[in-house]
Amino acid sequence: MHQINCMQDIVRNAVKLKKLDIGEAEEPAEDGADPGEEQPAYPVRNAVIRQVIDYITRNYMNDITLTSVSQHVYMNHIYLSRLIKKETGENFLEILTRIRLQKACEMLSDPDMKAYEVAEMVGIRDAGYFSQVFRKYFGMTPSEYREKLIFQQQSDL
């Protein structure tokens, strides 16, 4: 029974991919997502990858993994990993981290939020690791980023 379900999932995704290749309209998202929600900044043609990025964008604050995302889109995690890399040029973890850090930047504009609170809210449970990743990505710590934001806001006045 499990093999039959897996085969049905594979066929369903193959049909979605084929529809894109011949330019047919896509099926609406099955997860009830509001079409007016913010769309990811990845210009991908593949409907499955758009669904993956949308899922990450809506669930970045949770403990999500490639396996959990692959189950969401009914696809083998190894194949999905390769497809993500092929379509976006980034791997799953790079996309997840980018989205989390973009959300963190938005949250850091609130001076009442502590950096460790922002880290937790974007799904990174270790504040030290959050600072390390933030610095690697932006070249400054979350605190330095916040100071720069505050300085820019004061300069604009």
Report pLDDT for 87. Answer: 94
What are the sequence ranges of the domains in the chain? 2-90, 95-156
Do you know the residue count of the chain?
157
Q: What is the pLDDT of residue 42?
A: 57
> Three-class SS string for 12-78?
HHHHHHHHHHCCCCCCCCCCCCCCCCCCCCCCCCCHHHHHHHHHHHHHCCCCCCHHHHHHHCCCCHH
Q: Quick one: pLDDT at residue 139?
A: 95
* Confidence (pLDDT) at 45: 85
What are the structure tokens assigned to 48, written together?
């499955």
Average pLDDT by consecutive 10-residue portion of the chain (157 residues)? 48 46 38 40 82 97 97 97 96 97 95 95 96 96 92 83
DSSP states of 86-145: HHHSS-HHHHHHHHHHHHHHHHHTSTTS-HHHHHHHTT---HHHHHHHHHHHHSS-HHHH
Looking at domain 95-156, its CATH class is mainly alpha
- Is the pTM higher than 0.85? The answer reads no
Task: Give pLDDT, residue 38.
Answer: 43
Instruction: Indicate the angle between helix axes 142-156 and 127-138, nearest 10 degrees.
Output: 60
